[in-house]
Structure 1
Amino acid sequence: MANNIRILHRYTPRISGIFQSREYARPTSFPDFFQNPIFRKEDQAKLIETSELSKIAALPVKPPAVYETSSVYHDPLVNKVINHVMEMGKKQLARSLVEKAFENIKRSQIERYHLATTPEAKAKIELDPKKILHKAIENSKPLLQLQPIKRGGITYQVPGPITEKRSLFLAIKWLLEATNEKERTVHFPKQFAWELMDAANNTGKVVKRKQDLHRMCEANRAYAHYRWQ
């Protein structure tokens, strides 16, 4: 009996800690009427200008995630790219790879800047890696997509508009796929930096892939009416 009491006392703190962590755990899902937190100062300023703040002031708000911050260094697009690069939950490794790619872009652009001979040529060289990332993704986003639709036992590739969310996803996916098609001697940060700089200059494999998709949509425009049938 005494031994059982000692064993019970030994494991009581662990059991109480488990129940305490479950009691105060943050819920993972919320009802549909809960609003996403607006933590960016720019978004808050837009709400104040458009008088939309008074409409959502009384609505319940979800708690912000760990990565959601109002810091001037926080970039939602960079965080999205890091999440796409991440594999098996290794976010710290993914963040370091993206940061090394930014470092390679910075070195390459500074080298080009110092090799430029005229002030006009230097002014055209972008030195901020984040702006290059934004421009690369913007140049890689497709405007149309092909959707398979079956009519009379035949599957047609029907062109149609694409949503902004899907377009952004395809742009990031294509950039990473082009990066992974590298040689074994080339590391991921260096190849990713090259793909971003090529896409920012509206060249490279990803931009060609987008243009090929647009050509296929143009060639299949005769099937566009199947979208409404």
Structure 2
Amino acid sequence: MAACRSSHVLKLYSSVSRLHQPLLSHARTAIYSTNYQEPTVRKKDLEEPLPDSDPRRFQPIKAAFIEQTSSVYYDETVQKFIRQMMKSGNRARVQQIMDNTLENLKRIQVEKYHKTNDLEEKKSIECNPLTIFHTAVRNCEPILILTKVQRGGVMYQVPIPCKDSYKRYKAMRWLIDSCRDKERKMPMEQKLARELLDAYRGEGRSIRKKQDLHRQCEANKAYSHYRW
């Protein structure tokens, strides 16, 4: 009985003590209102004087992500891609995979550049891995998507224009999911490098997924008036 009473008292004390403790949350996970402005990261933007009408003079600014720096090597799209590819919070592992992927892209293109003897073909070979990455993501971005709309007890797949933020999200998700196929027995950085090169040339699984989505939107264009 004494042991039961002591455990009950301890539980009661811990619950009361938690009530009086301040609620702590990470600055980035807090819900910001619309008055908060995005942080400025680039050095060029930081060096420029703020005009009198700039809202950053009189409105609060959000806290920057831990990976946001003013380094010349910082790329916002690459960081978004890393956050989408991350699993179980293992950011260091995903960052290493992305670095190896960009290195593989560089190796493949430089090797191709030195093997060819045609000057015109050499000029057309892109050796910058970041340019290949951005072009591949842009080639995978869909123009239309399907959304569910219910009319008269029937659910219709209605094509609607895709927002810019969702375009980029969908393109990155297709690239990542295409590389996680277990049929390809090779490391993730090699599969991702090949998929990015295929998407850069307008080929590959991610491009086919975008084309299939556009075909579905074309087939359902008769239901487009249901979006209003």
1:158 aligns with 158
Amino acid at match of 2:203: T
Counterpart of 1:89 in 2: which secondary structure? coil
List structure 1 segments (4+ residues) > 3 angstroms apart after TM superposition.
Answer: 22-28, 41-48, 51-55
Identity of aligned residues (%): 37
Structure 2 CA distance, aligned partners of 1:153 and 1:53?
51
CA–CA separation in structure 1 for the residues paired with 2:52 and 2:85:
35
Note if contact 1:47-1:53 (Cα within 8 Å) is conserved in structure 2: no
Match runs of 1:33-182 below 5 Å? 33-41=35-43, 51=51, 54-182=54-182
Shift of 1:56: 2.7
Residue 43 of structure 1 and its aligned partner are, at CA, apart by 5.0
CA apart distance, 1:152: 1.7
Q: Distance in 1 between matches of 2:88 and 2:72?
A: 29
How far is 1:183 from its partner?
Answer: 2.7
RMSD of aligned Cα (Å): 2.4
* TM-score between both structures, scaled by the size of structure 2: 0.82
Give the letter for the 2:30 counterpart: S
The superposition leaves residues 34-92 of structure 1 with CA deviations (integer Å, 9 ceiling, x where unpaired) of 222112245568996xx586343122223323211111110011111111121111100
Q: What 5-or-longer segments of structure 1 have no aligned partner?
A: 1-21
Cα shift readout 1:154-174 (whole Å, capped 9, x = no counterpart): 211111101111111110110
Structure 2 runs not aligned, ≥5 long:
1-21
User: What do residues 173-211 of structure 1 show as CA deviations (whole Å, max 9, x unaligned)?
Assistant: 100111011435211111110000000111111111111
Separation of aligned partners in 2, 1:192 and 1:150: 38
CA separation of 1:142 and 1:25: change in aligned 2, threshold 3 A = closer
Task: State the SS of the aligned residue for 2:146.
Answer: strand
- Contact 2:140–2:210 (CA under 8 A) maintained in structure 1: yes
Which runs of structure 2 are paired with 1:168-207 in the superposition (5 Å)?
168-183=168-183, 185-207=185-207
Paired residues of 2:109 and 2:126 also in contact (CA < 8 A): yes
Contact 2:32 2:62 in 1 (8 A): no
Moved more, 32-41 or 76-85: 32-41
Q: Given that residues 30 and 62 in structure 1 are in contact (C-alpha distance below 8 angstroms), is that contact kept between their aligned partners in structure 2?
A: no
Is the alpha carbon distance of 1:184 and 1:40 closer, same or farther for their aligned partners in structure 2, counting shifts above 3 Å? same
Question: Partner letter of residue 29 of structure 1?
Answer: A
State the 1:100 CA deviation. Answer: 1.2
TM-score when normalising by structure 1:
0.81
- Identify if the C-alpha distance between structure 1 residues 186 and 26 changes in structure 2 by more than 3 Å, giving closer, same or farther: closer
Secondary structure of the structure 1 residue equivalent to 2:54: helix
Aligned to 1:216: 216
